[in-house]
Amino acid sequence: MARFLAITGGVGGAKLALGLAQILGPDELVFAVNTGDDFEHLGLHIAPDVDTLTYTLAGVSNTDTGWGRQDETWNFMDALERLGGETWFQLGDRDLALHVTRTQMLTAGQSLTQVTAQICATLGVTHPVFPMSDDPVRTTVHTESGPLAFQHYFVRDRCEPAVRGFEFVGIEQARLNPAITRYLEGPERVDGIIICPSNPFVSVDPLLNLPGAHAALQSAGVPVVAVSPIVGGVAIKGPTAKMMQELAIPNSAAEVARHYGALLSGLVLDEQDRGLDGTLDTPTTVANTVMITLQDRVDLGHTVLRYIASLA
The nearest distance, CB 89 to ligand FO1, in angstroms, is 5
CB neighbours (10 Å) of residue 107?
9
Distances (CA, A) of 53 to 33, 35, 77, 142: 8, 12, 23, 27
Instruction: Return the percent helix, strand and coil in the chain, to nearest 5.
Output: 45, 20, 35
SS3 58: helix
Name the residue nearer to ligand FO1 (CB basis): 35 or 251. 35
Q: CA torsion, points 168, 174, 175, 176, in degrees to nearest 10? A: -40
The nearest distance, CB 12 to ligand FO1, in angstroms, is 8
Name the residue nearer to ligand FO1 (CB basis): 49 or 273. 49
Name the residue nearer to ligand FO1 (CB basis): 51 or 270. 51
Q: CA torsion, points 19, 181, 47, 156, in degrees to nearest 10? A: -90
Beta-carbon-side half-sphere exposure of residue 213 (alpha carbons within 13 Å)? 24
- Rounded CA gap, 299 and 146, in Å? 42
Site residues, ligand FO1 (CB under 6 A): 9-11, 37, 46, 48-49, 51-52, 67-68, 89-91, 95, 151, 154-155, 203
The nearest distance, CB 90 to ligand FO1, in angstroms, is 3
Name the residue nearer to ligand FO1 (CB basis): 85 or 178. 85
Helix axes 93-107, 75-82, angle to 10 degrees: 80
The nearest distance, CB 271 to ligand FO1, in angstroms, is 25
Identify the bridge partners of residue 192 per DSSP, sorted by sequence position. 4
The nearest distance, CB 49 to ligand FO1, in angstroms, is 5
Name the residue nearer to ligand FO1 (CB basis): 6 or 184. 6
Nearest residue relative to ligand FO1 (C-beta): 10
- Rounded CA gap, 253 and 191, in Å? 25
The nearest distance, CB 260 to ligand FO1, in angstroms, is 19
Name the residue nearer to ligand FO1 (CB basis): 10 or 128. 10
The nearest distance, CB 100 to ligand FO1, in angstroms, is 13
Name the residue nearer to ligand FO1 (CB basis): 237 or 265. 237
Beta-carbon-side half-sphere exposure of residue 9 (alpha carbons within 13 Å)? 23
Name the residue nearer to ligand FO1 (CB basis): 50 or 217. 50
Q: Dihedral of CA 270/48/167/246: which sign? A: positive
Residues near 149 by Cβ (< 8 Å), separated by ≥ 6? 39, 138, 139, 140, 141
The nearest distance, CB 280 to ligand FO1, in angstroms, is 26
